[in-house]
Structure 1
């Protein structure tokens, strides 16, 4: 269970977000500029809220009143940005294995071969990110996050730069991850079909506020 109740302000933008997120997939929808990506950055520890709390199961990650702030590298969360940010000085292989090799073998949920086959990136292993297309970078970023076996997966429009064939291949895999592991996911997308296929519930954001929670009964 992920629980948060915090506030964040920058410039003229104010975000006030409160929710309890169970296992499974929670879709986050709303217009551009409503704060969806900012929320993920706050959860990941890449931004610091001015006030409030964040708890993951029994771990307090943020409590500004008690001056607790666990940095991003200690949260063991996976984050996939919309533009598939990778380490530019590392090969695709080294990007994929960056977190994987730091895990105890017993805690690894996926093998490298499984991820390479599913995401069709085996032929890219020796390339540097500068030589990848946008869709290739996105697949590598998704593979790196999965191989990290995170305790929370934050996905910011992870399929936006992929063609329809790959989307139809990767979406069922993400659904399998949801069904076979206890990794909760927060999935930001403007694609209603993706959210309906994958998500168990939806948080609606508008102008920095969570304004609605809707449960989804998937037909798949």
Structure 2
């Protein structure tokens, strides 16, 4: 009888130890998952631009988490009517638009993320969504067609005399975007005018030793007989 009781006590203790082990392991996994999620989880406002031949969104980055990524996507809207309306408005009058999305993990837009983000909902604003912009399209489903740029920023202060610029777009709708590669830096998106849309190079390296749009860009575009339409220029978030 004593042997049986001893056996039951040992078994009970063993089950208790096993349950405690699995509870601790599960808690550790949840903590690790939450920490990983929190590093890039948040509200990630984006500049919206494009036209009839494509819609683009550029994350408004900062040098600290969860916003320390420069991300550029090409997208379309699930609602075909709103999608076409937005394309037409941007094509007729290139100007600043933005989107205010639901909270999500920005790192999921990385090309190698195992759970790549496919879509998210957002409100679209004419103007800056945090600076007196006007809400135009509410709760739109954004479908990510392509991630064109995904670069994590460094908090380390760095100085460069040259700036790297990319030309994106298709057909007669092209845009110039600066890679954020120093600190402090500036974020700029320029719509190329009709005469400069024939600019075919997909990358430029130009002097950028000040916190202003380099005169070399203005000169380069003016030499082609075109004008510059700056859609977005930001320095305050990138100090």
- The structure in which a higher percent of residues are helix is 1
**One fold, TM greater than 0.5?**
no
What TM-score bracket applies, with the shorter chain setting the length? under 0.3
| Larger of the two Rg values belongs to structure | 2
Q: What TM-score, normalized to structure 2?
A: 0.21
- The structure in which a higher percent of residues are strand is 2
